[in-house]
Amino acid sequence: MSYSIENSIKGKVCLITGGTKGIGKECARQMAKMGAKVIVIGRYEKGLNEVEEELKLSSPESVAIKADISSLAEIKEMFLQVKNRFGTVDVLVNNAGTNRRTKAIEVTEEEWDTIINLNVKGAFFCSQEAAKLMDPGKVNKIINISSQYGHVGSSNRSVYCTSKGAVELLTKSLAVEWAPHILVNAVAPTFIETELTKELFEDEKTRKNLLERIPLKRGGTVKDVVGAILYLASDLSNMTTGSSLLVDGGWTAGS
């Protein structure tokens, strides 16, 4: 018997939030190249237009939709467009998220709401709306992008850690409730070298401190995370649900 991630993703309707840059954008690219019908969600038209044009070269039915997933009204409108265009969703990747480094004693209500609404509320209600469209006669996938900080604490990241801890238990709860036709898993990366973390890795002291915590002695790449997402999106993971796949180079194993 031949096993192939590519063959099991081909033809699927795959929706990726936060898909205009970093992990989300690369995931969209790879899924489109594998023949998936990719729906990219983002907040800014310029980035969405650029991604849509690129994806259509590999997958002509792919589309980009503007939506702020911290807003339930925009989530519902976005999924109405998805329903009208595709009728279903086979794979949802809850990738959109944000972080702010603030001492716990200084966290404001605005910071709390911004992080929790995007990282937790957005992931929950996107999952809810996707579940309504998923075919109960098929094996469907929801993949939540969590963090190593959903497993361990960190100074100046109290709200972010709270949000990712919530994502971890949301993953388990939905996996139990929605089995067997919706499999729900998480991918929990360490520090990934992207445009957003460029300054961290360029600062020698910060880079040294980070790499000392990672047994593999390097930061993660977008490719590392996308590989985990593609595995969970494929039929090769059809006995896996309620799990969190740590892509952290051993950070949490040594904590």
pLDDT for the residue 201: 83
Nearest to 62 by CA among 39, 85, 34, 90: 39
For the chain, which residues make up each domain, given as ranges? 5-247
Per the residue annotation, which of 3, 44, 160, 231 is the catalytic one?
160
Say which CATH topology domain 5-247 has: Rossmann fold (3.40.50)
pLDDT for the residue 202: 85
pLDDT for the residue 1: 54
Q: Is 160 in the active site? A: yes
pLDDT average per 10 residues of sequence, the chain (255 residues): 86 97 96 98 94 97 98 98 98 96 96 98 98 98 98 96 98 98 98 80 88 93 97 98 98 89
